[in-house]
């Protein structure tokens, strides 16, 4: 992968606390485009979070860390429990079969986080309550 000079989205969000809606919309649009491409290649990403998104000098974002990604060319669903807990979709939490919808769920959580400044399901570190909320 090429060097991406802008750093993690996580760092930029911590400094800004939250982004203006137009800025967040641009980031989400570029991530949605990347997810659409991955899904067209039958790749499930499963690890959307601010620390896995790098910022280019041109303002575009790059997805990194494909360690939890899954190739769905031989199957239509999966049921592994993986990802960052506060971004997990309900299907993962209840240990049900899932597919690409979990990436779109995580993108929705990220959208909320970028605009509001906190994760909608974070519950003071209480994982049980967070999973109940999800």
pTM: predicted TM-score of the whole model, two decimal places = 0.94
DSSP category for residue 51 = G
Determine, yes or no, domain membership for 4: no
Average pLDDT over residues 3-26: 94
Average pLDDT over residues 17-27: 96
Residues 37-86: tens digit of each pLDDT: 999 999 999 999 999 999 998 889 999 999 999 999 999 999 999 999 99
Other CB atoms within 10 A of residue 26 CB? 15
Determine, yes or no, domain membership for 3: no
Residues 76-128: tens digit of each pLDDT: 999 999 999 999 999 999 999 999 999 999 999 999 999 999 999 988 889 99
- Asked whether the beta carbons of 44 and 102 are under 8 A apart, the reply is yes
Question: What distance in Å separates the CA atoms of residue 129 and residue 121, rounded to the nearest whole number?
Answer: 9
Is residue 65 among the annotated active site residues?
Answer: no
Determine, yes or no, domain membership for 42: yes
Count of structural domains, the chain: 1
Identify the bridge partners of residue 70 per DSSP, sorted by sequence position: 44
Determine, yes or no, domain membership for 30: yes
Determine, yes or no, domain membership for 74: yes
Question: What distance in Å separates the CA atoms of residue 2 and residue 52, rounded to the nearest whole number?
Answer: 15
Catalytic one of 47, 65, 71, 103 = 47
- Supply the CATH number for residue 101's domain: 1.10.510.10
- Asked whether the beta carbons of 66 and 18 are under 8 A apart, the reply is no
What domain range is 104 assigned to? 9-133
């Amino acid at each position: 992968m090429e060097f991406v000079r802008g750093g993690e989205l996580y760092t930029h969000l911590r400094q800004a606390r939250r982004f203006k809606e137009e800025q967040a919309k641009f980031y989400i649009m570029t991530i949605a485009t990347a997810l659409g491409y991955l899904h067209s290649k039958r790749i499930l990403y499963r690890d959307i979070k601010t620390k896995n998104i790098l910022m280019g000098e041109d303002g575009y974002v790059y997805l990194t860390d494909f360690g939890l990604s899954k190739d769905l060319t031989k199957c239509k669903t999966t049921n592994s429990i993986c990802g960052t807990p506060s971004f997990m979709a309900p299907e993962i939490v209840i240990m049900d079969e899932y597919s690409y919808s979990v990436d779109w769920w995580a993108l929705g959580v990220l959208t909320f986080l970028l605009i509001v400044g906190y994760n909608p399901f974070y519950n003071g570190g209480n994982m049980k309550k967070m999973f109940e909320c999800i």
